[in-house]
């Protein structure tokens, strides 16, 4: 089930989220719904506060090779992280960034190209994640949500963000995940016609 993503301005986005002691059936269901919501909004990450739950839970999904010049959304890596912490950051670069709580806006933020993060998993394990590129960026962004930090805080307010039209406005380009599904259908149709 898709959940409502809170828009910037909702005070719950500014609250610091509570740690999670362990996975419960309710938490598993929340994570599943967050994944569906993230995918439905064409995002690469979503934090529980963005759906009105102030718990330290994030979901992140990026292509298997997030450093590739052209991202391939047919093969992805999905992470469900409880109590994530970014402990090491290096090689800062300016990155283009948006937020599902602020659709239609982007900015450029100095983000670490490489991070080491630690988190708990739904099965009770503690893991270390060495991430780079888009995965590192997504983890940094989502962990900030858990502490009430939003992208406009990096640039001095919403007035300094850049207004954009999402690529799917007007039906010109579909969402990236849908686009891959469409390509597969078109390729299958072309192959059938060739036979």
List, for residues 157-170, the tens digit of each pLDDT value: 888 899 987 655 55
Question: 115 or 75: whose pLDDT is higher?
Answer: 115
* Structure tokens, 127: 């893991």
- Catalytic site residue from 142, 186, 189, 193: 142
Give me the CATH code for the 11-164 domain, please.
Answer: 3.90.45.10
The share of the chain scoring above pLDDT 70, in percent, equals 84
**CA nearest 126: which of 139, 117, 138, 137?**
117
pLDDT, one tens digit per residue, over 12-71 is 999 999 999 989 999 999 999 999 999 999 999 999 999 999 999 999 999 987 667 787
Residue 77 has pLDDT above 50, yes or no: yes
Q: Which residues contact 180 (CB under 8 A, 6 or more apart)?
A: 73, 74
| Chain mean position to CA 81 | 12
Secondary structure of the chain: what % helix, strand, coil (to 5)?
A: 35, 30, 35
Residue with tokens 């569906």, as numbered in its chain: 36
Average per-residue pLDDT for the chain: 86
Residue 144 has pLDDT above 50, yes or no: yes
Q: Which residues contact 102 (CB under 8 A, 6 or more apart)?
A: 7, 8, 150, 151, 152, 158, 161
Give the chain's length: 195
CA angle 135, 137, 139 (to 5 degrees): 70
**Is residue 142 annotated as a catalytic residue, yes or no?**
yes
Rounded Cα gap, residues 149 and 29, in angstroms = 25
Give pLDDT, residue 74: 87
Instruction: Give 24-44 as a DSSP string.
Output: -HHHHHHHHHHHHHHHHTT-S
Give pLDDT, residue 169: 57
The share of the chain scoring above pLDDT 90, in percent, equals 71
Instruction: Phi first, then psi: give them for residue 6, nearest 5 degrees.
Output: -70, 135
Confidence of residue 181 (pLDDT cuts 50, 70, 90): very low
Task: Find out whether 51 and 4 touch, Cβ atoms under 8 Å.
Answer: yes
């Amino acid at each position: 089930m898709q959940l409502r993503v809170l828009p910037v301005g909702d005070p719950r986005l500014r609250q610091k989220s509570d740690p999670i002691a362990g996975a419960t059936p309710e938490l598993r269901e929340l994570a599943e719904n967050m994944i569906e919501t993230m995918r439905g909004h064409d995002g690469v990450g979503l934090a529980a506060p963005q759906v009105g739950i102030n718990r330290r839970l994030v979901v992140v999904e990026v292509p298997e090779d997030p450093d590739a010049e052209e991202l391939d959304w047919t093969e992805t890596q999905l992470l469900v992280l409880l109590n994530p912490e970014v402990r090491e950051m290096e090689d800062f670069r300016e990155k283009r960034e948006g937020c599902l709580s602020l659709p239609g806006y982007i900015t450029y933020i100095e983000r670490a190209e490489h991070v080491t993060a630690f988190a708990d998993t739904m099965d009770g394990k503690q893991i270390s994640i060495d991430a780079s590129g888009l995965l590192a960026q997504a983890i940094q962004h989502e962990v900030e949500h858990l502490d009430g930090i939003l992208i406009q805080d990096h640039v001095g307010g919403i007035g300094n963000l850049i207004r954009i039209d999402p690529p799917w406005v007007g039906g010109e380009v579909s969402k990236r995940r849908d686009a891959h599904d469409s390509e597969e259908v078109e390729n299958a149709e072309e192959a059938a016609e060739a036979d």
